[in-house]
């Protein structure tokens, strides 16, 4: 009987992973037993990520055709709002847990739960504030952002979607920090099946309302499953969930959480602002947003392998750095970057070749957007090989340098979007490609500076 929790398949994956590493990096890992814990966690993380992305891609392809460009544009704006606002709910709490739960577990499980509950208190406060803002400004959100009637109920569903997304991100980090990777796989499988089965049918029957409501309900399903597994985890350690947070941990919210939040809070809001500029000032308005949103999801597909493998690459690089293997992470990232760029090329090639066919399948309003799709695919190729270099900055304590690079990227993207918005979705696509190139150059230069090289 094949048991996914058994150590045999972990050992096989560990040996295979060691065999793929450069000889210099492989020698520093020692035996595969050390790598086994990482492979187990990373494998489940990649499975969960692949399930989520796969379900999202299938659903989006269907929704773009069913809703049409204008309604899909509204959905794109709602998703952008969720991705942006949930960052302001979490405020870096997820990274705090990822950083400190393993350290606290060396003391006791109770000590780890103290910092978990501190982060829950933080999210409760920020979520409550968001609800107050959402309720009082629901009409403005409906009219100004979603281009809907002032009395629409969708802003309330979007608020719920935001809070559930933030909570799910925190619960995911907790499970990974406790090395319960199989939980993320089980939850992602259940949610992926539900998303594919329910969201398209609801959108086909009730349009945009059906899509947003069922996206919110599938997020609620994810929360329920995660909470059940979390309480099961606590029961297995005979620890109460109602342990009071330690006041001594409060400084972590400012000294660690705030810088992390500032770095992570740039990407999604910047892309969302670009879409709002496109909605307000492009000749075709929401139709342009719908076309750009679809092509942006194709960009996500192009960088899919890069996104998955980066979850595995960062722990390896951190391990090499912690062990004192100076420069080993630099040698390690070369094959990682090569694999990621090669994978993105393999995905982008058929998209570019069959761009007309892909867009025609989506509906008449998407026809003629081949140039947008091609430019966004090219941007995906440029982005795909950058994350290992960014990881190198992070493991070498150069987070501020990464923050500077993100700020430069955001300024260029929004500036070029404003300049070329008269070109519609194509103008924003050019802005995405140009800003990605500049950021790539910045990251490459900073990783070969004397300081980085010395580290």
| pLDDT tens-digit map of 286-298 | 888 888 888 888 8
**Same domain, yes or no: 240 and 322:** no
If one counts every other C-beta atom within 10 angstroms of the C-beta of residue 12, the result is 12
Output the CA torsion 355→356→358→363 (10° steps). Answer: 140
Please tell me the total count of domains within the chain: 2
Q: How many helices (H) and strands (E) does the chain have?
A: 20, 0
Helix axes 32-90, 109-136, angle to 10 degrees: 30
Q: Are 315 and 436 members of one domain? A: yes
Range of 4-8, 86-90, 333-337 with top mean pLDDT: 86-90
Percent of the chain residues past pLDDT 90, beyond the cut:
33
| Same-domain pairing of 391 and 278 | yes
- 6 lies in some domain: no
List of residues 6+ apart from 243 with CB closer than 8 A: 110, 113, 114, 117
Give the residue with greater pLDDT, 144 vs 439: 439
Tokens 């979850």 label which residue? 311
Determine the Cα–Cα distance for residues 210 and 149; give it in Å rounded to an integer: 17
- The pLDDT, as a whole number, for residue 227 is 96
**Domain match, 121 and 40 both:** yes
Q: Look at residue 367 and give its three-state secondary structure.
A: coil
Same domain, 243 and 317: no
Do 320 and 387 lie in one domain? The reply is yes
- Does residue 127 have a pLDDT over 60? yes
Q: Are residues 223 and 314 in the same domain?
A: no
Mean pLDDT of 93-99: 75
- Check: CB of residue 17 under 8 Å from CB of residue 157: no
Instruction: Say if pTM beats, i.e. exceeds, 0.85.
Output: no
What's the CA gap between 214 and 105, in Å, rounded?
A: 37
Mean pLDDT over all residues of the chain?
81
Q: What's 365's DSSP letter?
A: G
Share of the chain above pLDDT 70, in %: 81
Whether 107 and 148 map to the same domain: the answer is yes
Does the pLDDT at position 452 exceed 80? no
Q: Is the pLDDT score of 453 beyond 70?
A: no
Tokens for 149? 């009637």
pLDDT, tens digit, for every residue of 337-368? 887 898 899 999 998 999 888 888 877 778 88
| 281 occurs within a structural domain | yes
pLDDT tens per residue across span 401-420: 878 888 999 999 999 999 99
Q: What is the pLDDT of residue 73?
A: 86
Asked if 313 and 39 touch (Cβ cutoff 8 Å), the reply is no
Which of 214, 242, 258 is the C-terminal boundary of a domain? Answer: 258
CA–CA gap between residue 343 and residue 335 (Å, rounded)? 12
Could you tell me if 223 and 303 lie in one domain? no
Spatial contact of 176 and 45, defined as CB atoms under 8 Å apart: yes
CA distance 139 to 153: 9
What mean pLDDT is predicted for residues 226-240? Answer: 93
Q: How distant, in Å, are the alpha carbons of 303, 368, 390, 432, 445 from that of 439?
A: 16, 29, 10, 11, 10
Query: Looking at the domain assignment, is residue 5 inside a domain?
Result: no
Does residue 1 belong to any structural domain of this protein?
no
* Residue 315 within a domain: yes
In the prediction, which pLDDT does 320 show?
61
Cβ atoms < 10 Å from Cβ of 7: 12
Position 70 scores a pLDDT of 86
Structural domain containing residue 70: 28-258
Q: Is residue 9 part of a domain?
A: no
Q: Do 334 and 450 have their domain in common?
A: yes
The per-residue pLDDT for 262 is 76
- pLDDT higher than threshold 70 for residue 55: yes
Specify whether 324 is located in the same domain as 373.
yes
């Amino acid at each position: 009987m094949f048991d996914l929790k058994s150590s045999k398949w972990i050992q096989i994956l560990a040996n295979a992973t060691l065999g793929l590493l450069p000889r210099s990096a492989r020698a520093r890992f020692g035996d595969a037993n050390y790598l086994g814990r990482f492979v187990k966690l990373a494998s489940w993380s990649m499975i969960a990520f692949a399930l989520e992305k796969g379900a999202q891609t299938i659903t989006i392809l269907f929704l773009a055709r069913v809703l049409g460009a204008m309604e899909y544009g509204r959905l794109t704006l709602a998703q952008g709002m969720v991705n942006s606002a949930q960052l302001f709910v979490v405020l870096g709490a997820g990274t705090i847990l990822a950083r400190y739960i393993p350290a606290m577990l060396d003391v006791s499980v109770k000590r780890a739960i103290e910092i978990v509950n501190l982060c829950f208190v933080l999210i409760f406060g920020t979520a409550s504030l968001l609800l107050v803002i959402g309720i009082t400004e629901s009409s403005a959100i409906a009219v100004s952002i979603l281009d809907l009637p002032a009395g629409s109920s969708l802003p309330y569903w979007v608020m719920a979607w935001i809070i559930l997304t933030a909570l799910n991100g925190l619960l995911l980090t907790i499970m990974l920090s406790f090395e319960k990777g199989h939980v993320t796989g089980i939850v992602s499988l259940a949610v992926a099946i539900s998303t594919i089965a329910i969201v398209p049918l609801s959108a086909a029957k009730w349009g945009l309302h059906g899509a947003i409501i069922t996206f919110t309900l599938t997020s609620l399903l994810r929360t329920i499953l995660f909470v059940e597994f979390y309480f099961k985890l606590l029961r297995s350690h005979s620890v109460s969930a109602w342990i009071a947070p330690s006041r001594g941990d409060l400084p972590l919210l400012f000294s660690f959480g705030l810088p992390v939040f500032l770095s992570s809070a740039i990407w999604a809001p910047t892309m969302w602002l670009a879409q709002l500029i496109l909605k307000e000032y492009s000749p075709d308005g929401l139709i342009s947003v719908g076309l750009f949103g679809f092509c942006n999801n194709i960009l996500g597909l192009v960088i899919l392998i890069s996104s998955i493998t980066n979850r595995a690459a960062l722990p390896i690089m951190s391990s090499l750095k912690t062990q004192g293997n100076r420069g080993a992470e630099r040698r390690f990232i070369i094959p990682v970057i090569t694999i990621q760029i090669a994978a993105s090329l393999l995905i982008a090639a058929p998209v570019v070749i069959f761009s007309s066919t892909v867009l025609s399948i989506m509906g008449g309003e998407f026809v003629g957007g081949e140039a947008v799709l091609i430019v966004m695919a090219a941007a995906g190729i440029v982005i795909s090989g950058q994350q290992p270099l960014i990881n190198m900055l992070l493991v070498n304590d150069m987070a501020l340098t990464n923050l500077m690079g993100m700020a430069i990227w955001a300024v260029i993207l929004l500036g070029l979007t404003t300049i070329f918005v008269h070109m519609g979705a194509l103008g924003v696509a050019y802005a995405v490609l140009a800003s990605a190139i500049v950021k790539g150059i910045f990251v490459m230069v900073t990783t070969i500076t004397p300081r980085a090289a010395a580290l």
